Amino acid sequence: MEIHIKRIYEHVSANDGKRILVDRLWSRGISKENAHLDLWLKEIAPSTELRKWFHAESLEHWSEFKQRYLKELETNPAVKELQDIVSKHRVTLLYSAKDVEHNHAVILRDYLLEKEKK
């Protein structure tokens, strides 16, 4: 299982494999044509309520955001779809957040890798 993450604004690479946008909202400033997506799996993103809460708060709430998002993932049917894809293909999870360390794609990648170990 090979899962990468990167901002949707970064250059497309042959090493990306399947390019999957995991944001609930479309990324500003990029056309669907230039995104070179294989899939837009918006259902896997944090709920609208959780996303709004996190963006209204500071990074002090990162740990709580992570726990809340992991709880959402446990009951999210889109997880199975994504697990099926990553079990067969190299995947790059795409996101638009500016913070490359504190975003839901990081949590999602780690969650999928942890699930694979079990």
**pLDDT-based confidence at residue 1 (cuts at 50, 70, 90):** confident
Please give the pLDDT value at position 116: 83
**pLDDT-based confidence at residue 4 (cuts at 50, 70, 90):** very high
User: Residue 40 is inside which H or E element, if any?
Assistant: strand 39-40
The CA-based angle 109-113-115, given to 5 degrees, is 115
Please give the pLDDT value at position 27: 92
The CA-based angle 29-33-37, given to 5 degrees, is 95
Average pLDDT, the chain: 93
pLDDT above 90 covers a percentage of the chain that reads 84
Q: Give 25-66 pLDDT, tens digit per residue.
A: 999 999 999 999 999 999 999 999 998 888 777 778 899 999
Please give the pLDDT value at position 117: 77
For the entire predicted model, the pTM comes to 0.92
